[in-house]
């Protein structure tokens, strides 16, 4: 970035010097290599100087140089603004002044999590509340307790036994990635009369 700004400033300086040279030498149509060397003092910029001042109409060339200088100046200002914005948005590496927005979001997330955990323990008791907080389900949990622990199922399949008992199968989908290949897998919860009576593919 510093090199780009330095090159831009060098080009602006060369353009300004070229403008002054045009004003001092209105009778000439081209500038010789020696004059360009005296004027710029740098061999690297000689080609750029000769390219920028070799047209026949000097007045037209002055207008083009002025336009180019304005363009370079506006580009330089835009880059400075972008650099300042980038500097302002950088997180502190020293840790002295934290980015308040992300720090505030972390506090909100932690606060919401703490409220939810407190609610689960007060609603379902210490033992069951802790299981729900850790996303575990146990036989005998109600549908609501399972939703609190695992979220909403992907699908719900309802059936009724010959004896008239309502059964539900909740399907939870998840993806496993092994050796750069992903596979969709399913876990199942089985309910009878609103209580969890079976589970499949859940870790113990």
pLDDT, averaged in runs of 10, over the chain (204 residues)? 57 56 53 61 52 54 70 75 69 53 61 88 91 92 93 92 90 86 90 93 80
Please give the DSSP secondary-structure letter assigned to residue 154: S
Find, among 145, 143, 201, 148, the residue nearest to 174 by Cα: 201
What integer pLDDT is reported at residue 111 of this predicted model?
82
Distance in angstroms (rounded) separating the CA atoms of residues 96 and 132: 38
Distance in angstroms (rounded) separating the CA atoms of residues 69 and 4: 16
| pTM confidence score | 0.46
Q: Are 132 and 148 in contact (CB under 8 A)?
A: yes
Total residue count of the chain as it appears in this document: 204
Distance in angstroms (rounded) separating the CA atoms of residues 161 and 51: 91
Would you call 38 helix, strand, or coil by DSSP? helix
Q: Which two tokens stand for residue 56?
A: 């026949």
Please report which residue ranges of the chain form alpha helices under DSSP H: 2-24, 33-40, 46-52, 58-89, 100-133, 143-150
How far is CA 126 from its chain centroid? 40
Q: Of the CATH numbers 3.30.1450, 1.10.3860, 3.40.50, 3.30.2010, which one belongs to the domain with range 120-200?
A: 3.30.1450
What integer pLDDT is reported at residue 48 of this predicted model?
54
What integer pLDDT is reported at residue 196 of this predicted model?
95
What integer pLDDT is reported at residue 67 of this predicted model?
72
Between helix 33-40 and helix 2-24 the angle, nearest 10°, is 120
What integer pLDDT is reported at residue 53 of this predicted model?
54
What integer pLDDT is reported at residue 62 of this predicted model?
66
What integer pLDDT is reported at residue 55 of this predicted model?
45
Distance in angstroms (rounded) separating the CA atoms of residues 126 and 120: 8
Long-range contacts of 22-28 (CB under 8 A, 24+ apart): 22/53, 22/58, 22/61, 22/62, 22/65, 23/62, 26/58
What integer pLDDT is reported at residue 179 of this predicted model?
83
Find, among 136, 122, 139, the residue nearest to 197 by Cα: 139
What integer pLDDT is reported at residue 56 of this predicted model?
46
């Amino acid at each position: 970035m510093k090199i780009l700004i330095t090159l831009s400033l060098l080009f602006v300086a060369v353009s300004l010097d070229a403008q002054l040279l045009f004003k001092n030498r209105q009778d000439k149509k081209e500038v010789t290599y020696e004059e360009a060397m005296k004027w710029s003092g740098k061999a690297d910029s000689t080609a750029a100087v000769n390219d920028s001042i070799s047209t026949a109409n000097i007045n037209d060339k002055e207008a083009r140089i002025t336009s180019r200088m304005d363009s370079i100046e506006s580009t330089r200002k835009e880059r400075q603004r972008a650099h300042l914005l980038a500097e302002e948005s950088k997180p502190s590496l020293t840790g002295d002044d934290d980015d308040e927005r992300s720090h505030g979001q972390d506090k909100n997330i932690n606060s919401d999590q703490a409220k939810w955990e407190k609610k689960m323990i007060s609603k379902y008791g210490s033992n069951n509340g802790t299981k729900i907080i850790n996303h575990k389900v146990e036989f005998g949990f109600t549908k609501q307790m399972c939703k609190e622990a695992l979220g909403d199922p992907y699908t719900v399949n309802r059936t009724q036994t010959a004896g008239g008992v309502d059964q539900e199968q909740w399907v939870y989908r998840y993806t496993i990635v092994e050796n750069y290949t992903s596979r969709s897998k399913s876990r199942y919860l089985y309910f009878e009369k609103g209580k969890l009576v079976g589970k499949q593919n859940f870790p113990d």
